[in-house]
Amino acid sequence: MTRLVGRGVPRVDGRAKVTGAARYAADNEIAGVLHGFLVMSTIARGEVREIDPSAALAHPGVVAVYTHADMRTLTVPGFPYNRTFIPMQDTRVHYSGQPVAYVVAETLEQAQEAANLVRVRYRAEPPVARLADAPDEPFLPEGFRADQPTETVRGDAATALEQAEVRLERTYGSPMQHHNPIEPHTTTAVWDGETVTLHESTQGVVFTRNVVSAVFGLPPADVRVVSQYLGGGFGAKGPVYPHTLLTVEVARLARRPVKLVLSRAQMYTSNGHRSEFRNHVRLGATRRGTLTAVIGTSTAQVTRTDERTFNTNDSAVNLYACPNIHVRQLGVRLDLPTSGYMRSPETTAHFGLETAMDELSYEIGIDPVQLRMRNLRPTDPQNGRHTASRHLPACYRMAANAFGWKWRNPLPGTTRDGDEYIGWGMATETHSHNAIRSTVALTIGLDGRATLRTATQDIGTGTYTVLTQVAADELGMPLGQVTTLLGDTAFPDASLSAGSSTVPSVVGPVADAAQGARDRVIALATTDPRSPLHGVPAEDVDTEGGRLFARGDRHRSDSYRDVLTRHGRPVETRSHVENTRGHSFGAVFVEVRVQPRLGTVRVSRVAAAYDLGRVLNHRTARGQVIGGVTWGIGFALMEHTAVDPNTARVVNPNLSTYLVPVSADTPSVDVAFVDQPDSGSNALGARGFGETPGTGVPAAIGNAIYHATGRRIRDVPFTQDKLL
């Protein structure tokens, strides 16, 4: 019966995107809108003493300059609001780049210029900006999510490590990084009496609605959030951030709609980041390479106002079979903005584990793939599912074959091509995925066309396409007969587009709603004397190409359109089916070419294979791999938010100095999928996948650099000066 699911169907929204017809959040022309611009603190710690808006107010077009003195007391909501305070509620400054005033003017340029003219005087205290500057202060924060504890103990890791035949102890590090979606954050708040509509660039319209309703004490039904398309989110638009709340309040104060678009520079302090991270890893193993102890102690930047850490050490706990595990995730309070989730947050700690595994393989003298195969987990002790992959061995095999791993020269530093040293490295790829209760509504109109409505969103990953494929298949309609509408809280509540949760959360309800609608239409036909299918048992009716057929007698047929027209009313169904959390897996193999005298590294080949359950769309899944591998290359070789240690300011808040990979840095990726349905997932056997590819890439690149040069670098990015 499957015709579309599984195929690499092109994007249903592709044309709208390339022609500019797709409406992004800031693409609105609302009558009477005011443009907002934030004035950000220039100190990282201290107090606002005085704000003088007079020059700004005198600037043409400026309508108002709001400060903490103008704001109502707002309720600080819980997760997914990631901070324990809302800026502009008092005079305290917690980080450089914190909003201290909000200018509204008739044009964006006027607002921006006036923001420059607002004079703010501070009482400044010296900030601390780097983990290295607060060496004595790590503490074990309380986990803020029950499913992400900050400490995990299994067995007796300390004793096991002491008794281990082989011991390895290393520290790995990564700097602060920023998401940099190309579309900046934007909010347009439009009040109508006591209800408010937000045109928002968000990975979760429902989350945003819930937070706004909590902060402003509004019933959820009085808050509407619309976010039809996103130009990327990567976690930067998952939680709700202060600029959104301030815009809602300012629009209320101004009694006019207000549109805010963050500048690129402001995006380096407004919406979280991957925090600076150190990971102290100790492994114990037998001479044959069986892990007997895994001890991981990570330290991440937190702030003085809250202690949330976002980069869980998931793979140390869940990936390999090891009876003795002790994982702790410490925090150090610094005068920086609160961090947050950034695409594949588990990469941060996984980089340490997968590098340590590589180091162990050389220490013991076995192939790095063999070492991993020796430590595969049979089943998961907690839920018996997802965390263990029956197909991980197939991933290693498929990717290794595609790469040519069997030709590997095991001796590091001995393969050359002219001036260049060539190295091969590999790592396991894995990430958890979430599953969030989701409801969808499906309507088949009198014209026989189906419309799917659900308040999840497409952040660029292909959600419109995949959901349309699923609904069309279940209904037996061509792709073009189904329209999917997303990103609007006017639709039934559905999953956040984060934590790789969209497919596992929403596909089940879509399939179920479509099956329900199809069954209703079949029942209408078979009970209607005017239908050629009248009297055919419902279970003997097939649907295909928008038509209904009697099985075995294809001349007896009807169409959705005709059935609905005769019925005279649309058919509507609604469904929610809850899925469970899980993990997806893969293996990635990388070749690098190193110029040892210049320290330059080029990734020349990548082969990867994945088990994500059933692959619903090979093209969009492959897109996630290309994106993930590219992120991995950036993580490994260049991404780095530089913070000035004296002022705690970000010194490279733009894309000309915060480098991300360009085409010339990214080879084409050889991608394979196991493509076996996971019987435990009710999303047609598919699991969440978006964040799995790339998780192993930083380690694989570092491992390949070691293989090329014999030099082990344990701090990303692997820049040229480190490699000399």
Partner 1 sequence: MDFLRPTTLDEALAAKAERPGAVPIAGGTDVMVELNFDHRRPEALLDLTGVGELAEWSRSSGSDGEIRLGAGVPYTRVITELGGRLPGLAMASRTVGSPQIRNRGTVGGNLGSASPAGDTHPVLLVTGARVEVASVRGTRLIPATEFYTGVKRNALAPDELVTAVHLPEATGPQQFAKVGTRNAMVIAVCSFALALDPDRAAARAAIGSAAPTPRRAVAAERFLAEELPWGTPGPLRDSLKRRFGELVAEATEPIDDVRGTAAYRRHALAVLARRTLTWAWNDQQERSPSCA
657 binds partner 1 (CB under 8 A): yes
DSSP string, 284-324: EE-TT--EEEEEEEEEEEEESS--------HHHHHTB--S-
Three-state SS string over 520-544 comes to HHHHHHHCCCCCCCCCCCHHHEEEE
Of 402 and 642, which has the nearer Cβ to partner 1?
642
724 binds partner 1 (CB under 8 A): yes
Interface residue with partner 1 among 128, 190, 215, 637 (CB under 8 A) is 637
569 binds partner 1 (CB under 8 A): no
Shortest CB 116 distance to partner 1, Å: 8
Three-state SS string over 150-190 comes to CEEEECCHHHHHHHCCEEEEEEEEECCECCCCCCCCEEEEE
Sole residue written with tokens 């007997």:
292
Stretch in the footprint of partner 1 (CB under 8 A) among 32-40, 336-344, 655-663, 701-709: 655-663
Of 392, 363, 359, 362, residue with least CA distance to 375: 392
664 binds partner 1 (CB under 8 A): yes
Q: How many residues sit close enough to partner 1 to count as binding (CB under 8 A)?
A: 25
Residues 402 to 441 in contact with partner 1, rule: CB under 8 A: 419
Shortest CB 60 distance to partner 1, Å: 15
Binding mask 109-128 for partner 1 (x = CB under 8 A): -------x------------
CA 186 – CA 178 distance, rounded (Å) = 17
644 binds partner 1 (CB under 8 A): no
Interface residue with partner 1 among 652, 676, 677, 715 (CB under 8 A) is 652
Interface residue with partner 1 among 47, 519, 665, 670 (CB under 8 A) is 665
Of 159 and 657, which has the nearer Cβ to partner 1?
657
Of 570 and 667, which has the nearer Cβ to partner 1?
667
Residues 596 to 625 in contact with partner 1, rule: CB under 8 A: 597-600, 602
720 binds partner 1 (CB under 8 A): yes
Which amino acid makes up residue 217? G
Stretch in the footprint of partner 1 (CB under 8 A) among 62-70, 187-195, 335-343, 634-642: 634-642
Of 639 and 678, which has the nearer Cβ to partner 1?
639
Interface residue with partner 1 among 529, 539, 569, 656 (CB under 8 A) is 656
**Quick one: tokens of 262?**
């963050």
Of 18 and 598, which has the nearer Cβ to partner 1?
598
Interface residue with partner 1 among 659, 670, 675, 676 (CB under 8 A) is 659
Shortest CB 663 distance to partner 1, Å: 7
Q: 586 CB contacts (<8 Å, ≥6 apart)?
A: 395, 399, 428, 429, 430, 608, 609, 610, 611, 612, 692, 693, 696
Q: 389 CB contacts (<8 Å, ≥6 apart)?
A: 395, 583, 584, 585, 611
CA 604 – CA 314 distance, rounded (Å) = 29
Sheet hosting strand 547-550, strand order edge to edge: 541-544, 547-550, 553-559
DSSP string, 255-283: TS-EEEE--TGGGGTSS--BPPEEEEEEE
Of 311, 234, 318, 325, residue with least CA distance to 278: 311
Shortest CB 723 distance to partner 1, Å: 10
Of 383 and 720, which has the nearer Cβ to partner 1?
720
Shortest CB 642 distance to partner 1, Å: 6
- Point out the residues that are catalytic: 691
Shortest CB 137 distance to partner 1, Å: 27
DSSP string, 557-585: EEEHHHHHHHH-S-EEEEEE-----EEEE
Q: What are phi and psi of 112, to 5 degrees?
A: -65, -45
**Element at 709 (helix H, strand E):** helix 697-709
Interface contacts to partner 1, rule CB under 8 A: 116, 419, 597-600, 602, 637-638, 642, 651-652, 654, 656-657, 659, 661-665, 719-721, 724
